[in-house]
Amino acid sequence: MIEAVIEDLCIGCNRCVVVCPTDVFDATETGVPIIARQEDCHTCMSCELHCPVDALYVAPQGSPTQINEAELIASGILGSYQRALGWNRARPGGSEDDPGVLLKFQRKPDPNDKVRVKLHDLSIRKYI
């Protein structure tokens, strides 16, 4: 179950918001998404896989777990699922190559949705 968005690491790209199949996250004006519906998390790991900076922690337990962000960062566990699957190891893979994510970012967003417009512009420029 999703347990943490580490604010100090998050770059506000909102990929987790886009890829979550159960709509667990909400985008915010500050850029750092919030875990709005933790109980809807199915522990699919999509958010953790697509996070480019390893700012998310998905615990293997299916119920909320007490965590300490400083201990998580120090332990090196953040991003370990990505690494176990071979993402971001100078070989093809990762969210930048995922067709589902590419399609979502290529679709022209509603001009009134400023967060999605910004994400779309950044993805076109290859910043995300």
Query: In the prediction, which pLDDT does 91 show?
Result: 46
- Is pLDDT at 62 greater than 90 in this prediction? no
Contact call for residues 50 and 15 (beta carbons, < 8 A): yes
Three-state DSSP at 123 gives helix
Q: Where are the domains of the chain?
A: 2-91
- Residue type at position 74: A
Residue 103 dihedral angles phi and psi, to the nearest 5°: -65, -40
- Is pLDDT at 3 greater than 50 in this prediction? yes
Give the bridge partners for 56, in sequence order: 5
CATH code of 2-91, in short, is 3.30.70.20
pTM of the model: 0.65
Query: pLDDT tens across 77-120, in order?
Result: 898 888 887 776 544 445 555 555 554 555 566 667 777 777 76
Query: In the prediction, which pLDDT does 12 show?
Result: 92
Query: pLDDT tens across 12-54, in order?
Result: 999 999 999 999 999 999 889 999 999 999 999 999 988 988 9
Contact call for residues 109 and 116 (beta carbons, < 8 A): yes
Neighbouring C-alpha atoms within 13 Å toward the C-beta of 11 = 11
